[in-house]
Amino acid sequence: MNRKGVLSGLYPMTKLTVVFFVCLSAFIAGDFRFGYFVVFPCLLILALLEGQFVPYAKKLVSAIVIMFLFIFLIKACLVPSETVLWRWGILKIYEQGLADALSLTSIILVAGGTILLFFETTDIEDFMISLQKVGISHIGSYVFLSTLQMIPDFIKKSKTIMQAQRARGIETEGNLLVRLKAFLPTLTPLIISSIADIEDKVITMEARAFSVEVKKTHLKEINMASRDKIVIGLAILGFVLFLIWRFIL
Amino acid sequence: MLKKLGMMTTLLIPICIAVNVVGGYIVTLLKLPLYLDVIGTILAGALTGPIGGALVGLVTNLITGIGNPVLIPFAVVNIAVGIVAGLCARKGWFTTFKMTVVTSILIWAIVQVTAVPMTVILFGGTAGGGSSVITSFFLASGKGIWEAVFSQSIIVETVDKLLATFIVYFVIKRIPESTLIKFNLGSRYVEEAA
């Protein structure tokens, strides 16, 4: 990743620490305004500074908007509680339900928004290297990274297989049952051909000493800089101040 | 943990995760009103046992969670599916049609037991998506939140999870024996055929 934004330049674990503290604060805050009016604008500003605003906002909207609409509909309108806040025809908004919906959505907004921004500004490879440094097995990061490579590959292959099956007469359009029957002939060749490849991959990887118990080296080196320590320090300080404000003042 | 499973299982995991994702993709290509997004999890459970199945379930939701963090908590459901599929496979239940029926019902049951409380407690009754319309309908007709989400889940998940289990049953039948035998639980399927 060549972008030199503030967030992209930070060490992945630093960002993860901050994400953790922000999410924890949202749980403790017990006030929807913290999520909606403090954290959310900050996330948008950070995404804007990073030059990632449009993709970030798109992903966030597609992840949560419909869900939030339903949460409000269900909590505030459909589950009855004592006080009716507002009434229009058959539509009623309950006070307790609205408050519940606001606090729930604000927590989801904070957790979802921060995690999404984390992945939006972190190179997955860097993240895996930093995970290995804290002791996660290199096999785990192999699984994760190769899956990410495999998914687009599989999608391409499944299209090819579907065309091939159509060429030999399998219907992929028509009523529900006909389309359902086309599922198995598309998926099975995909699974079987990739499973048959496993053995070759095992031999290739063992030839490069994949499962040998030694300290692994990386092609790419990433390290914690002094600014990472400052950011973590600020995050902890901020969290302590937040706790003092919440419970003592 | 991964080291004990062996390389064949380690390399099966990415494939099964991709199958989970691609299953959902093929469903949209064919415009089917289903999810079929746990096929890989069940397959991993069936070929390698509960640990493999659980790992596939976990990593699937972590990876889909990169684009939509709301999905991350639902990893619990996917892990549970993998464990149940793996335990059933250890007993050899994927080898006959009759026992696959039992397995599919168990998998369906574990989805209900894990997904419904998760949806109600964590997300107040909805995780977004079209099926929430059904939940809203039940609520509007005067049912309680638990009843409504449970009814919605039974309507949406039943055909989906039963079908996913049977797809795995048919896929395993088509995998060549020479490949099957190399997986931890593979010998169970080969003996059946011999």
pLDDT, one tens digit per residue, over A65-83 is: 888 888 888 888 887 777 7
A213 within domain boundaries: no
Q: Decide if B25 contacts A158 (C-beta within 8 A).
A: yes
* C-alpha closest to that of B16 among B183, B191, B193, B192: B183
Shared domain check, A137 and A104: no
A183 within domain boundaries: yes
* pLDDT score for A2: 47
A82 within domain boundaries: yes
* pLDDT score for B2: 63
Shared domain check, A88 and A45: yes
B152-185: per-residue pLDDT in tens?
Answer: 999 888 999 999 999 999 999 999 888 898 898 9
- Tens of pLDDT along chain B (194 residues) come to 666 778 889 999 999 999 999 998 999 899 888 889 899 999 999 999 999 999 999 999 999 998 888 889 999 999 999 999 999 999 999 999 999 999 999 999 999 999 999 999 888 887 766 678 888 888 888 888 899 999 999 988 899 999 999 999 999 999 988 889 889 898 888 865 54
* C-alpha closest to that of A181 among A201, A166, A164: A166
What is the span of the domain harbouring residue A185? 130-207
Shared domain check, A138 and A88: no
In this complex, the residue of B127, B140, B174 whose CB is nearest that of residue A188 is B174
The one-letter amino acid code at B136 reads: S
Q: A83: phi > 0 → left, psi -120 to 50 → alpha, else beta; which?
A: beta
Shared domain check, A181 and A148: yes
Shared domain check, A98 and A27: yes
Shared domain check, A229 and A111: yes
Q: Decide if B112 contacts B150 (C-beta within 8 A).
A: yes
DSSP string for residues in A210-242: TT--S----SS-----HHHHHHHHHHHHHHHHH
Shared domain check, A78 and A50: yes
Which chain B residue's Cα is nearest to A172? B30
Shared domain check, A118 and A16: yes
Q: Looking at residue B169, which CATH number applies to its domain?
A: 1.10.1760.20
A4 within domain boundaries: no
d(CA B1, CA A104): 36
Q: B194 in contact with A at a CB cutoff of 8 Å?
A: no
Confidence bin at A50 (pLDDT 50/70/90)? confident
Confidence bin at A93 (pLDDT 50/70/90)? confident
Q: B36: phi > 0 → left, psi -120 to 50 → alpha, else beta; which?
A: left
A73 within domain boundaries: yes
What is the span of the domain harbouring residue B172? 2-193
Shared domain check, A94 and A150: no
d(CA A66, CA B123): 13
Size of interface A-B (CB pairs under 8 A): 179
The gap from C-alpha A34 to its chain's centroid, in whole angstroms, comes to 21
Which residues have a Cβ under 8 Å from the Cβ of A7 and sit 6 or more positions away?
A15, A46, A49, A50, A117, A121
A214 within domain boundaries: no
For chain B positions 169-188, those within 8 Å of chain A (CB to CB) are 170-171, 174-176, 179, 182
Shared domain check, A17 and A97: yes
Shared domain check, A159 and A108: no
CB count within 10 Å of CB A103 equals 19
The gap from C-alpha A177 to its chain's centroid, in whole angstroms, comes to 35
In this complex, the residue of B22, B128, B179 whose CB is nearest that of residue A70 is B128
Q: Kindly provide the ipTM of the predicted complex, given to two decimals.
A: 0.89
> Which residues does chain B have within 8 Å of residue A111's beta carbon, measured at their own beta carbons?
69
Residue written as token pair 């389309």:
A179
Number of domains within chain B: 1
Shared domain check, A78 and A44: yes
A173 within domain boundaries: yes
d(CA A37, CA B130): 29
The per-type count for chain B, helices as H runs and strands as E runs, is 11, 0
Asked if A183's CB is within 8 angstroms of B63's CB, the reply is no
A7 within domain boundaries: no
Number of domains within chain A: 2
